[in-house]
Amino acid sequence: MDKTIGIFGGGQLGRMMAQAALPLNIQCTFFEASPDCPAATLGQVFASKSENSLQDFIHSADVFSLEFENTPLADVDVLIKHKDLHPPRQALAIAQNRLLEKGLFDELAIPVAPYKAVNSLESLQAAVAELGLPIVLKTATGGYDGKGQFVLRSADQIEQAWAELGPAGSLIAESFVTFSREVSIIAVRGQNGEVKTWPLAENHHHNGILSHSIVPAPNSADLQPAAQDYITRLLNHLNYVGVLTLELFVTDKGLYANEMAPRVHNSGHWSIEGAVCSQFENHIRAVAGLPLGSTEVVRPTVMVNIIGQHPKTEDVLALNGAHLHLYNKTEREGRKIGHITLMPNDAAELTDLCRQLAKILPNPLALSADMSL
């Protein structure tokens, strides 16, 4: 198929989408502020800050997608007058506002923690009185990787929390969920309505940033049906096309939805080697109107983010069963600059691989959590 897909954003997700598109004879273009973005080597970049660049971008491709849920809706509104966008605008608008998102979860009977809208110091005080403490106060829009959040544990923190987040505008206060772990489910929906899901990933974080994911999530067979049901409700309700991610908390009362991401997701990077068809290829297939591929797992897999500093390439590649992905990004504290996929034969080999990898990574804290399969 000779087709071009335009992607809002040119970061590592756009880069990996383009890498998955090339074997299918599908080209990608990108709308991105930085001309030397990670995806720049894989297609033409249209500078998002330049005059007339949006129109040039629209003319560059047959159909469009995105790699970042904070893609400006104003740009999307111009685009959809002329071309198709997958996922749909509605999904993007809802994902950009946590209050709308929680409202959609409520509408579809997807369990969430109790929450209240906050728009003043007085309404924050009322939310604390109604929800109790602790609560998580978040900006309704913006914020990612732990940014735009304040965990409020005592009443004497109310004014501090408001001072830090109040200027951002609309906020949401959520009851603190006591959970044993976080998991995510990723699914893809084709233009014909077909839905396929990958197994749950168990996610571990360090300083609010995803450090590693284990797939399939250990001891999760009983959780998979409910997670699939919830994400399928979202996909069908939104008439969604492409990959969608739903982050979930595992609690003693079952699964609670945290948030959705209308795009390919960090916790799905394992699928490049670990699944028959990766999240990136299936997203491209869906956007292009092609049949979806199998989401079956090839082998249990662990994906480890490279954060801040690069390890030595030769050291990583010397590990048996390790696959290295670098994003063409400069080093910076807290920045995701690549990932490593480990594909052990068994739990014992995984333990050994993790010990070896911990010696290689400049920031071995990514491997501090239990990584048993």
Q: Within this chain, do residues 126 and 207 fall inside the same structural domain, yes or no?
A: no
138 appears as a binding residue in the annotation? yes
| φ and ψ of 152, to 5 deg | -100, 110
Q: Within this chain, do residues 61 and 143 fall inside the same structural domain, yes or no?
A: no
Domain count, the chain: 3
320 appears as a binding residue in the annotation? no
Q: Within this chain, do residues 149 and 244 fall inside the same structural domain, yes or no?
A: no
Q: Please name the residues in contact with 71: beta carbons below 8 A apart, sequence gap of 6 or more.
A: 8, 9, 92
46 appears as a binding residue in the annotation? no
331 appears as a binding residue in the annotation? no
52 appears as a binding residue in the annotation? no
177 appears as a binding residue in the annotation? yes
Q: What is the pLDDT along the chain (373 residues), one digit of tens a residue?
A: 689 999 999 999 999 999 999 999 999 999 999 999 999 999 999 998 878 999 999 999 999 999 999 999 999 999 999 999 999 999 999 999 999 999 999 999 999 999 999 999 999 999 999 999 999 999 998 766 557 899 999 999 999 999 999 888 899 999 988 999 999 999 999 999 999 999 999 999 888 889 999 999 999 999 999 999 999 999 999 999 999 999 999 999 999 999 999 999 999 999 999 999 999 999 999 999 999 999 999 989 999 999 999 999 999 999 999 999 999 999 999 899 999 999 988 878 888 888 899 889 887 655 544 455 5
176 appears as a binding residue in the annotation? yes
359 appears as a binding residue in the annotation? no
Q: Within this chain, do residues 72 and 122 fall inside the same structural domain, yes or no?
A: no
Residue 101 lies in a domain: no
Q: Within this chain, do residues 306 and 187 fall inside the same structural domain, yes or no?
A: yes
CATH number at residue 119: 3.30.1490.20
55 appears as a binding residue in the annotation? no
Q: Within this chain, do residues 148 and 229 fall inside the same structural domain, yes or no?
A: no
Distance CA 357, CA 193 (A): 41
Predicted pLDDT of residue 121: 95
Predicted pLDDT of residue 67: 97
314 appears as a binding residue in the annotation? no
Q: Whose structure tokens read 């989408």?
A: 17
Cβ-based neighbour number of residue 356 at 10 Å: 16
159 appears as a binding residue in the annotation? no
146 appears as a binding residue in the annotation? yes
123 appears as a binding residue in the annotation? no
CATH number at residue 234: 3.30.470.20
Of the three residues 159, 175, 191, the one that is the final residue of a domain is: 175
CATH number at residue 44: 3.40.50.20
Instruction: State the residue range of the domain holding 29.
Output: 3-85
239 appears as a binding residue in the annotation? no
Predicted pLDDT of residue 369: 44
**What is the pTM assigned to this prediction?**
0.94
147 appears as a binding residue in the annotation? yes
If we measure between CA atoms, which residue out of 14, 4, 23, 19 comes closest to residue 83? 4
Predicted pLDDT of residue 233: 98
Predicted pLDDT of residue 347: 77
